[in-house]
Amino acid sequence: MKSASDEAPRAEPDIAAAHELPAGKRKLIEAALRLTAGGRNFASLGLRELAREAGLNPNTFYRHFDTLDDLAREAVEWVSRRLRPMLRRERWLAAHDQPHSVPRRACVAFFTFALENREAFLSALAEYHGTSRALREAVRATLHAVSAEMADDVVQLDLMPTLARDVVDEVCTQIVLQLFHLSAEYIDADAARRDALVGYAERFIVRLFAGSVLLAQHDAERAPMSKRA
Protein backbone atom coordinates (compact mmCIF):
# COMPACT_ATOMS: atom_id res chain seq x y z
CA MET A 1 0.00 0.00 0.00
CA LYS A 2 1.36 3.40 -0.97
CA SER A 3 1.75 6.13 1.60
CA ALA A 4 0.80 9.75 1.02
CA SER A 5 4.44 10.64 0.55
CA ASP A 6 4.74 7.94 -2.14
CA GLU A 7 1.75 9.37 -4.00
CA ALA A 8 2.69 13.03 -3.66
CA PRO A 9 3.85 14.62 -6.93
CA ARG A 10 7.57 14.67 -7.42
CA ALA A 11 9.34 17.58 -9.07
CA GLU A 12 11.25 16.95 -12.25
CA PRO A 13 14.97 16.38 -11.56
CA ASP A 14 16.04 19.70 -13.08
CA ILE A 15 13.46 21.59 -10.99
CA ALA A 16 14.39 19.82 -7.79
CA ALA A 17 18.05 20.74 -8.14
CA ALA A 18 17.59 24.12 -9.82
CA HIS A 19 17.88 26.17 -6.64
CA GLU A 20 21.48 25.00 -6.25
CA LEU A 21 22.98 27.96 -8.07
CA PRO A 22 26.67 28.73 -8.54
CA ALA A 23 27.91 30.67 -5.50
CA GLY A 24 28.58 33.90 -7.39
CA LYS A 25 25.20 33.91 -9.10
CA ARG A 26 23.40 33.15 -5.84
CA LYS A 27 25.24 35.95 -4.00
CA LEU A 28 24.32 38.47 -6.72
CA ILE A 29 20.67 37.42 -6.65
CA GLU A 30 20.49 37.57 -2.85
CA ALA A 31 22.19 40.98 -2.86
CA ALA A 32 19.73 42.31 -5.45
CA LEU A 33 16.78 41.02 -3.44
CA ARG A 34 18.06 42.69 -0.27
CA LEU A 35 18.51 45.99 -2.10
CA THR A 36 15.07 45.92 -3.74
CA ALA A 37 13.09 44.60 -0.74
CA GLY A 38 12.57 48.16 0.45
CA GLY A 39 10.64 49.14 -2.68
CA ARG A 40 13.40 49.98 -5.14
CA ASN A 41 13.16 48.42 -8.57
CA PHE A 42 15.88 46.36 -10.18
CA ALA A 43 16.49 48.97 -12.86
CA SER A 44 17.69 51.41 -10.20
CA LEU A 45 20.56 49.18 -9.08
CA GLY A 46 24.11 50.00 -10.04
CA LEU A 47 26.51 47.18 -10.82
CA ARG A 48 29.13 48.44 -8.38
CA GLU A 49 26.51 48.82 -5.67
CA LEU A 50 25.25 45.30 -6.37
CA ALA A 51 28.74 43.80 -6.38
CA ARG A 52 29.62 45.59 -3.14
CA GLU A 53 26.46 44.25 -1.47
CA ALA A 54 27.32 40.76 -2.70
CA GLY A 55 30.95 41.04 -1.64
CA LEU A 56 32.16 40.36 -5.18
CA ASN A 57 34.23 42.04 -7.88
CA PRO A 58 31.99 44.07 -10.25
CA ASN A 59 33.27 42.05 -13.22
CA THR A 60 31.72 38.93 -11.66
CA PHE A 61 28.30 40.16 -12.74
CA TYR A 62 28.99 39.56 -16.44
CA ARG A 63 30.11 36.00 -15.80
CA HIS A 64 26.53 35.19 -14.86
CA PHE A 65 24.22 37.81 -16.42
CA ASP A 66 24.05 40.06 -19.46
CA THR A 67 21.69 42.65 -17.96
CA LEU A 68 19.93 43.49 -14.71
CA ASP A 69 16.69 42.24 -16.25
CA ASP A 70 18.37 38.87 -16.74
CA LEU A 71 19.33 38.83 -13.07
CA ALA A 72 15.82 39.80 -12.01
CA ARG A 73 14.20 37.10 -14.15
CA GLU A 74 16.61 34.53 -12.76
CA ALA A 75 15.77 35.67 -9.22
CA VAL A 76 12.06 35.15 -9.87
CA GLU A 77 12.70 31.72 -11.39
CA TRP A 78 14.97 30.75 -8.49
CA VAL A 79 12.20 31.44 -6.00
CA SER A 80 9.58 29.80 -8.21
CA ARG A 81 11.55 26.58 -8.52
CA ARG A 82 11.61 26.23 -4.74
CA LEU A 83 8.07 27.44 -4.02
CA ARG A 84 6.05 25.40 -6.49
CA PRO A 85 7.21 21.84 -5.66
CA MET A 86 6.85 22.62 -1.95
CA LEU A 87 3.25 23.79 -2.35
CA ARG A 88 2.28 20.79 -4.46
CA ARG A 89 3.76 18.34 -2.01
CA GLU A 90 2.03 20.06 0.92
CA ARG A 91 -1.35 19.90 -0.83
CA TRP A 92 -0.97 16.21 -1.64
CA LEU A 93 0.17 15.27 1.85
CA ALA A 94 -2.71 17.24 3.38
CA ALA A 95 -5.24 15.69 1.00
CA HIS A 96 -4.17 12.16 1.90
CA ASP A 97 -4.09 12.99 5.60
CA GLN A 98 -7.19 15.15 6.12
CA PRO A 99 -8.73 16.58 2.93
CA HIS A 100 -10.53 19.33 4.83
CA SER A 101 -7.14 20.61 6.04
CA VAL A 102 -5.83 21.37 2.55
CA PRO A 103 -6.79 25.09 2.50
CA ARG A 104 -5.26 25.87 5.88
CA ARG A 105 -2.10 23.85 5.38
CA ALA A 106 -1.58 25.36 1.93
CA CYS A 107 -1.98 28.87 3.37
CA VAL A 108 0.46 28.16 6.19
CA ALA A 109 2.99 26.73 3.73
CA PHE A 110 2.67 29.72 1.37
CA PHE A 111 2.95 32.36 4.09
CA THR A 112 5.81 30.55 5.85
CA PHE A 113 7.73 30.44 2.59
CA ALA A 114 7.03 34.14 2.06
CA LEU A 115 8.37 34.94 5.52
CA GLU A 116 11.48 32.81 4.99
CA ASN A 117 12.03 34.54 1.64
CA ARG A 118 11.05 38.02 2.77
CA GLU A 119 13.27 39.99 0.41
CA ALA A 120 12.20 37.97 -2.63
CA PHE A 121 8.50 38.41 -1.92
CA LEU A 122 8.74 42.11 -1.18
CA SER A 123 10.70 42.62 -4.40
CA ALA A 124 8.15 40.61 -6.38
CA LEU A 125 5.28 42.62 -4.89
CA ALA A 126 7.01 45.85 -5.92
CA GLU A 127 7.70 44.56 -9.44
CA TYR A 128 4.15 43.25 -9.95
CA HIS A 129 3.15 46.81 -10.89
CA GLY A 130 6.69 47.97 -11.63
CA THR A 131 8.14 49.80 -14.61
CA SER A 132 9.92 46.82 -16.15
CA ARG A 133 7.66 44.87 -18.47
CA ALA A 134 10.04 41.90 -18.40
CA LEU A 135 9.86 41.69 -14.63
CA ARG A 136 6.11 42.18 -14.48
CA GLU A 137 5.73 39.30 -16.91
CA ALA A 138 8.18 37.13 -14.95
CA VAL A 139 6.32 37.64 -11.66
CA ARG A 140 2.92 37.10 -13.25
CA ALA A 141 4.13 34.01 -15.10
CA THR A 142 5.22 32.52 -11.79
CA LEU A 143 1.85 33.29 -10.18
CA HIS A 144 0.11 31.76 -13.20
CA ALA A 145 2.23 28.61 -12.85
CA VAL A 146 1.40 28.37 -9.14
CA SER A 147 -2.34 28.74 -9.81
CA ALA A 148 -2.27 26.26 -12.73
CA GLU A 149 -0.57 23.65 -10.59
CA MET A 150 -3.05 24.29 -7.80
CA ALA A 151 -5.89 23.70 -10.26
CA ASP A 152 -4.20 20.49 -11.45
CA ASP A 153 -4.04 19.26 -7.85
CA VAL A 154 -7.67 20.16 -7.12
CA VAL A 155 -8.72 18.10 -10.14
CA GLN A 156 -6.32 15.18 -9.63
CA LEU A 157 -7.17 14.91 -5.92
CA ASP A 158 -10.89 15.16 -6.73
CA LEU A 159 -11.35 17.92 -4.17
CA MET A 160 -14.06 19.74 -6.13
CA PRO A 161 -15.64 17.06 -8.34
CA THR A 162 -18.71 19.10 -9.27
CA LEU A 163 -16.80 22.05 -10.68
CA ALA A 164 -15.75 22.36 -14.31
CA ARG A 165 -12.05 22.78 -14.98
CA ASP A 166 -12.41 26.34 -16.24
CA VAL A 167 -14.13 27.30 -12.97
CA VAL A 168 -11.38 25.63 -10.94
CA ASP A 169 -8.78 27.55 -12.96
CA GLU A 170 -10.53 30.86 -12.30
CA VAL A 171 -10.93 30.20 -8.57
CA CYS A 172 -7.29 29.13 -8.18
CA THR A 173 -6.10 32.28 -9.97
CA GLN A 174 -8.08 34.45 -7.55
CA ILE A 175 -6.75 32.51 -4.56
CA VAL A 176 -3.10 32.77 -5.57
CA LEU A 177 -3.37 36.51 -6.25
CA GLN A 178 -5.03 37.07 -2.88
CA LEU A 179 -2.38 35.08 -1.00
CA PHE A 180 0.39 36.84 -2.90
CA HIS A 181 -0.87 40.30 -1.95
CA LEU A 182 -1.63 39.24 1.64
CA SER A 183 1.96 38.04 2.01
CA ALA A 184 3.15 41.65 2.35
CA GLU A 185 1.01 42.13 5.45
CA TYR A 186 1.91 38.70 6.81
CA ILE A 187 5.64 39.39 6.58
CA ASP A 188 5.40 42.55 8.70
CA ALA A 189 2.75 41.30 11.15
CA ASP A 190 3.13 40.02 14.69
CA ALA A 191 2.28 36.42 15.62
CA ALA A 192 -1.35 37.12 16.49
CA ARG A 193 -1.99 38.99 13.25
CA ARG A 194 -0.30 36.24 11.25
CA ASP A 195 -2.63 33.66 12.77
CA ALA A 196 -5.57 35.90 11.89
CA LEU A 197 -4.36 36.25 8.29
CA VAL A 198 -4.07 32.48 7.91
CA GLY A 199 -7.63 32.13 9.20
CA TYR A 200 -8.87 34.83 6.85
CA ALA A 201 -7.11 33.26 3.86
CA GLU A 202 -8.51 29.82 4.73
CA ARG A 203 -12.06 31.20 4.92
CA PHE A 204 -11.55 33.07 1.66
CA ILE A 205 -10.60 29.84 -0.11
CA VAL A 206 -13.46 27.81 1.36
CA ARG A 207 -16.04 30.50 0.61
CA LEU A 208 -14.78 30.99 -2.92
CA PHE A 209 -15.05 27.30 -3.73
CA ALA A 210 -18.37 26.93 -1.88
CA GLY A 211 -19.81 29.91 -3.74
CA SER A 212 -18.60 28.48 -7.04
CA VAL A 213 -20.36 25.18 -6.29
CA LEU A 214 -23.62 26.99 -5.50
CA LEU A 215 -23.34 29.11 -8.64
CA ALA A 216 -22.72 25.99 -10.75
CA GLN A 217 -25.80 24.36 -9.22
CA HIS A 218 -27.85 27.49 -9.89
CA ASP A 219 -26.74 27.60 -13.52
CA ALA A 220 -27.50 23.90 -13.94
CA GLU A 221 -31.01 24.39 -12.56
CA ARG A 222 -31.65 27.36 -14.85
CA ALA A 223 -30.46 25.58 -17.99
CA PRO A 224 -33.59 23.37 -18.43
CA MET A 225 -35.83 26.39 -17.84
CA SER A 226 -34.00 28.32 -20.55
CA LYS A 227 -34.48 25.48 -22.99
CA ARG A 228 -38.21 25.32 -22.26
CA ALA A 229 -38.53 29.07 -22.69
Q: Which residue range forms the structural domain that includes residue 165?
A: 70-228
Residue 212 has pLDDT above 60, yes or no: yes
CATH code where residue 165 lies: 1.10.357.10
What 3-state DSSP class applies to 149? helix
Total of domains in the chain? 1
Answer yes or no: is pLDDT of 182 > 90: yes
Predicted local distance difference test score (pLDDT) of residue 105: 96
Model confidence pLDDT, tens digit, residues 101-116: 999 999 999 999 999 9
By C-alpha distance, which of 110, 72, 68, 124 is closest to 197? 110
Residue 190 backbone class (left: φ over 0; alpha: ψ -120 to 50; beta: rest):
beta
In this prediction, residue 38 has a pLDDT band, given cuts at 50, 70 and 90, of: confident
Q: Would you say residue 218 lies in a domain?
A: yes
User: Does 168 fall in a domain?
Assistant: yes
pLDDT in tens, 140-163: 999 999 999 999 999 999 999 999
pLDDT of residue 65: 94
